[in-house]
Amino acid sequence: MSLNPVYLPNAIPLPIADEELREIVDKSKDWAVMHGAAMRNKNSFCKDAVQIAPFSLIPSCFPRKEFNKAVALQPILNELMHRVAHDQLFLTECLRETIQVDEFTGNLFKIFETVQNEGITQPISLALLRSDLMLETIPTFSCCKQVEINSIASGFGWLGPVSAEIHRFVLHQLGYGDQIVNLPENNALQGLCGGMIEAWKIYGNENAAILFVIEEVTINICDQRFHEFEIYRMSPQTKVVRKTLTEIANKAKLGPNNELIIDGIHMAVVYFRSGYEPEAYPSKKEWDARLLIERSQAIKCPSIQYHLAGTKKVQQALARSGALDMFLTEAKKIEAIKEIFTGLYSLDFDEFGDQAVQMALDEPERFVLKPQREGGGNNIYGMDVKKAMLEMKNSKERTAWILMERIHPPVSKSYIIRPGDKNLPILEDVISELGIYGVVIGDSQKILVNRQVGHMLRTKLSSADEGGVAAGFGALDSPFLIDLD
């Protein structure tokens, strides 16, 4: 097994001479901030200002064939996720051990059980999914492997497409306008907002609003607001309301037919941009608010069962031999999904779990250790995998984690433009993660809408473990499609 990185070619000849680089960096930063490729400043938060989001000056190359395959696969993944979300027994089995030791997932599961026992008020769910993928190069250059699938707060519906706009501008300015044909069209924002508007129409009350559930402090404000502005552009009569879970806890009530009412406004659709992390629930009342939403008539994005279907434990269970056959009948679809799965192992207290513990102790660098968390910064890598495993191998805590084979994506050269950086950027070795968006609307019996709606690319230093942009690890990017063979 070779650990020498595989390099992708550059989209344009690099390096760029200093003078030209200085000019294009200044220009592209202004372009970015003036077109909403921006975020709030985490360290000196101010509601009146945004600054550039970190971005890659030049798009990273991505094999066209693999890109097209990932796009084509998304409706199949959508179908799979929809079926999984509606299989109560499967979710219960998958999460049985985990919810005993992971309080957060346990609380989500309690809400799931409660509404299942009471009877579901709103059978229709809206899912805005994002399947995250990396190219694998070990032992040989092969297809995309799935990092995870997000079923809650799948962000960057705006920051994804705008990154390609930055790159169109930059390539033109540098004299490579003929190359922009290699930047694929990306209508993620319209696709995702279109899904929300369709759900709003299905709900069928023109006066009802779409509720965005937001964090106390929103750093990734442009991404969220552009969703709101796009909904307004596409459907001016659809009102959008933003509230934190704490505000919802204080103000929301259910009407006589379980209508979700906040400040006298009836909510048709609830879109969670928060609520996937323990910090969103500082007290019991936020959990009560989540339960209240779940009990309501509103169409949830995601509903609690979709949230649970997006946990890493479920991802791992789906990679077990025979699991996909429970949800999909066509062998071609099953094979296509299997191809993107990398090794995923449970750490339950059984023969398989013990084997996985041993593998992690023997070759920790081969794996990533993941808890049931979202939003970046929670996983364990490299030699820390061994340390963590030694600490928890005899405790029940290990069942809250999964073990995943590490993916080794190819390396590109890039200039990363970071906010506040006064120096001229230097060429750095980076790796990328592609996200493909899917929209699904349906109930336990039928799927009404199933679409692939766009993509995003995030890039980070090849030496970094994690790549979240809002979390401060990664940079916005867009794929520049190339033909390798």
- Measured in degrees and rounded to the nearest 5, phi and psi for residue 446 equal -145, 155
**374 belongs to the binding site for ligand ADP (CB under 6 A):** yes
Binding mask 113-132 for ligand ADP (x = CB under 6 A): -------------------x
**404 belongs to the binding site for ligand ADP (CB under 6 A):** yes
**Whole-number minimum distance, CB 192 to ligand ADP, in Å?**
18
- Burial class of residue 235 (count of CB atoms within 10 Å of its CB; 0-12, 13-18, 19+): middle
Choices 3-11, 53-61, 93-101, 370-378 (CB under 6 A): range interacting with ligand ADP? 370-378
| 3-class DSSP assignment, residue 142 | coil
**277 belongs to the binding site for ligand ADP (CB under 6 A):** no
Choices 19-27, 87-95, 234-242, 371-379 (CB under 6 A): range interacting with ligand ADP? 371-379
62 secondary structure, DSSP code: E
The residue from 364, 467, 470, 481 that contacts ligand ADP (CB under 6 A) is 467
What number of other Cβ atoms are within 10 A of residue 209's Cβ?
20
**Whole-number minimum distance, CB 223 to ligand ADP, in Å?**
15
Q: From the DSSP assignment, how many helices (H) and strands (E) are in the chain?
A: 15, 21
> Whose Cβ is closer to ligand ADP: residue 220's or residue 450's?
220
> Whose Cβ is closer to ligand ADP: residue 122's or residue 151's?
151
The residue from 147, 369, 389, 469 that contacts ligand ADP (CB under 6 A) is 147
Rounded-to-integer distance, Cα 211 and Cα 238, Å = 11
Rounded-to-integer distance, Cα 409 and Cα 431, Å = 6
**Whole-number minimum distance, CB 375 to ligand ADP, in Å?**
5
Q: 29 vs 36, 413, 450, CA distance in Å?
A: 11, 19, 36
For residue 391, give every residue at least 6 positions away whose Cβ sits within 8 Å of its Cβ, in sequence order, or none.
none
Structure tokens at 297: 């008539």
* Size of site (CB under 6 A) for ligand ADP: 17
**406 belongs to the binding site for ligand ADP (CB under 6 A):** yes
- Burial class of residue 308 (count of CB atoms within 10 Å of its CB; 0-12, 13-18, 19+): buried
**407 belongs to the binding site for ligand ADP (CB under 6 A):** yes
The residue from 78, 297, 379, 414 that contacts ligand ADP (CB under 6 A) is 379
**136 belongs to the binding site for ligand ADP (CB under 6 A):** no
**Whole-number minimum distance, CB 466 to ligand ADP, in Å?**
4
**148 belongs to the binding site for ligand ADP (CB under 6 A):** yes
Q: 229 vs 33, 221, 290, CA distance in Å?
A: 17, 12, 25
> Whose Cβ is closer to ligand ADP: residue 240's or residue 407's?
407
**376 belongs to the binding site for ligand ADP (CB under 6 A):** yes
Choices 14-22, 48-56, 160-168, 367-375 (CB under 6 A): range interacting with ligand ADP? 367-375
Read off the amino acid at residue 49: A
**Whole-number minimum distance, CB 174 to ligand ADP, in Å?**
29
**Whole-number minimum distance, CB 474 to ligand ADP, in Å?**
7
Choices 54-62, 232-240, 262-270, 365-373 (CB under 6 A): range interacting with ligand ADP? 365-373
Choices 118-126, 164-172, 400-408, 418-426 (CB under 6 A): range interacting with ligand ADP? 400-408
The residue from 8, 91, 214, 368 that contacts ligand ADP (CB under 6 A) is 368
Rounded-to-integer distance, Cα 92 and Cα 67, Å = 34
**433 belongs to the binding site for ligand ADP (CB under 6 A):** yes
> Whose Cβ is closer to ligand ADP: residue 407's or residue 440's?
407
Buried b (16+ CB within 10 A) or exposed e, 11-48: beeeebeeeebeebbeebbebbbeebbbbbeeeeeeee
Under a CB-based contact definition with an 8 Å cutoff, are residues 272 and 224 in contact?
no
**211 belongs to the binding site for ligand ADP (CB under 6 A):** no
Measuring CA to CA, which residue among 402, 382, 377 is closest to residue 460? Answer: 377
Measuring CA to CA, which residue among 425, 343, 338, 393 is closest to residue 80? Answer: 338
Q: 475 vs 156, 172, 261, 432, CA distance in Å?
A: 12, 21, 39, 9
**378 belongs to the binding site for ligand ADP (CB under 6 A):** yes
For residue 178, give every residue at least 6 positions away whose Cβ sits within 8 Å of its Cβ, in sequence order, or none.
none
**Whole-number minimum distance, CB 157 to ligand ADP, in Å?**
16
Task: Give me the residues that bind ligand ADP (CB under 6 A), please.
Answer: 132, 147-148, 368, 370, 373-376, 378-379, 404, 406-407, 433, 466-467
